[in-house]
Amino acid sequence: MSQQTSNRQVTIAVVVVVVLALTSFVGGLAWTIYGSLGDNLVYYWSPTELVQKSASAQGQTVRLGGLVEAGSFDLEKCNPGCQFIVTDGTNRVAVSSTGLPPQMFREGIGVVVEGELQGDVFHTERIMVKHSNEYRAPKDGEKPDMASTLTEE
């Protein structure tokens, strides 16, 4: 066997190994992304979707997302549970929580609650609020005002 034939066989073997490795990598990546991604996605229903599908939602654990309606929440009445209304501008859903809401919870803020619809009331133990991820550093010489920091969006 000549030196040239031996080099060609080595080159072909290396190419085959590289192609198999890349195919395995791409296949594994595709399976990870598409195969198990759907199992890990969690969707939430808007108040309109929940009202439309209320019969099938009864007793099922779902997530409800929308805005806390103005005038529907009173922190003074939270002991330990709270009541408020979630709206999407079209429909409203009364929510009853067994615990205290997060510190950033307030009227007009985006919220996702996880629980069950029982009758016309959505019962939850878990309240998640949407908040701005923008950070504004204090200007030179300015001290941060924590009260306004927590209430600004």
pLDDT tens by residue, 11-20 = 888 899 999 9
Cα–Cα distance measured from residue 113 to residue 66, given in angstroms and rounded to the nearest whole number: 9
Q: For residue range 89-142, list pLDDT tens digits in order.
A: 999 999 999 878 888 888 889 999 999 999 999 999 888 887 767 777 777 777
Mean pLDDT value across residues 134-151: 64
- pLDDT tens for 27-77 read 888 877 776 666 666 688 999 999 998 888 888 889 999 999 999 988 888
> Which residues share a beta bridge with 87?
67, 92
Q: Is the pTM of this model over 0.85?
A: no
* Per-residue pLDDT, 37: 62
- pLDDT exceeds cutoff 60 at 148: no
**Structure tokens given for 66:** 């929308």
128 alpha-carbon distance from chain centroid: 9
